[in-house]
Amino acid sequence: MQSNRMIEQFSRLQVPTEEDVKEYYEDVKDELVQQAEMGEQKLREQIKQNPALAIGIGLIAGLALGWWLKR
Amino acid sequence: MATSNHNNEVAQIRESMQRIRCELQTDVEQVRESASQLTSWQYYVRKYPWACVGAATALGALVVPKRKHVVNQIDADSLRNMISNLKLTPKSQQEEVDDAEKSGFMKGMVTFVTGLALKAATNHVMNNYITPGFSSGRTYPSSSPVPHSPAEASATAASHRMGNDTI
């Protein structure tokens, strides 16, 4: 939504003010944080539903990471 | 009147006891469930999901061994580094004495055990596979019992000799 507003401003050849940019930045940040929180909540539920799978994936990821770092 | 009051009290006490028994049963079941829950790893994963996944990841990363450094061509610098990495500390006199004592004790033990084993093997071979009188060149009559040891063999031979002398 906010990005559309910025694009509209740019398309009208209006230079956004500092306040506009700050507001845009805050909006985008809030949106990203909200998305991340939703994703984290979803992932947490998935881990609670499939604990063995989550542990296995974590272990494999750790092995891959260790292999990549040490080897 | 007094008996009816007494009966009422008894009934109330019975009811309360019944209630307590039911509550006790549910309490025991709850305790059992919570105990079984505490021993299950899935409970901890559900309670601390990110910590458990992170711990599994760390464990996986720690399990991977380090790559061994293989030197294909040894140049002078790497050789010098290798030699400097070697910790060549001379042994103290006491350590040398201890080592010598240990090696002497071990040598003695090995000699003793080897001697025992050789003796047992020789006895076994002599008793089971070599015919009696093979070493002395004597033959024993079929009626006489077969000696099972060199001592018995010599005793048997002596008795035969004495018998021959008397005849």
Closest CB to A51: pick one of B46, B58, B60. Answer: B46
Structure confidence at residue B132 (pLDDT): 57
Q: Closest approach of chain A CAs to the CA of B47, in angstroms? A: 8
**Contact B56/A71, CB-based, under 8 Å?**
no
pLDDT at residue B53 greater than cutoff 60: yes
pLDDT at residue B142 greater than cutoff 50: no
Query: What is the residue-wise DSSP string for A21-43?
Result: HHHHHHHHHHHHHHHHHHHHHHH
Confidence tier at B137 by pLDDT (50, 70, 90): very low
Structure confidence at residue B167 (pLDDT): 42
Whole-structure pTM value: 0.47
Among candidate residues B34, B60, B58, B57, the one with its CA nearest the CA of residue B47: B34
Structure confidence at residue A37 (pLDDT): 97
The per-residue b/e assignment along B121-154, b for 16 or more CB within 10 angstroms, e otherwise, is eeeeebeeeeebeeeeeeebeeeeeebeeeeebe
| DSSP helix/strand/coil, B138 | coil
Cβ contact B37:B43 at 8 Å:
yes
B42 interaction partners in chain A (CB closer than 8 Å): 51-52
Query: What is the residue-wise DSSP string for B83-102?
Result: HHHS---PPPHHHHHHHHHH
Which segment of A12-21, A27-36, B151-160 scores lowest on mean pLDDT? B151-160
A60 interaction partners in chain B (CB closer than 8 Å): 60
Secondary structure letter of residue B133 according to DSSP? T
Mean pLDDT of A26-51: 95
The predicted complex's ipTM stands at 0.75
A70 interaction partners in chain B (CB closer than 8 Å): 64-67
Tokens representing residue B68 in the block: 């061994």
Closest CA in chain B for residue A40: B50
Structure confidence at residue B85 (pLDDT): 84
A68 interaction partners in chain B (CB closer than 8 Å): none
Mean pLDDT of A25-50: 95
Confidence tier at B155 by pLDDT (50, 70, 90): low
B41 interaction partners in chain A (CB closer than 8 Å): 51
Closest CA in chain A for residue B56: A59
Chain B positions touching chain A (beta carbons under 8 Å): 41-42, 45-46, 49-50, 52-67
Greater confidence (B103 vs A46) lies with A46
**Contact B53/A55, CB-based, under 8 Å?**
yes
CA distances from A5 to A2, A71, B9, B45, B103 (A): 5, 49, 80, 44, 89
**Contact A51/B52, CB-based, under 8 Å?**
yes
- Average model confidence (pLDDT) for chain B? 79
Q: With pLDDT > 90 as the criterion, what percentage of chain B qualifies?
A: 31
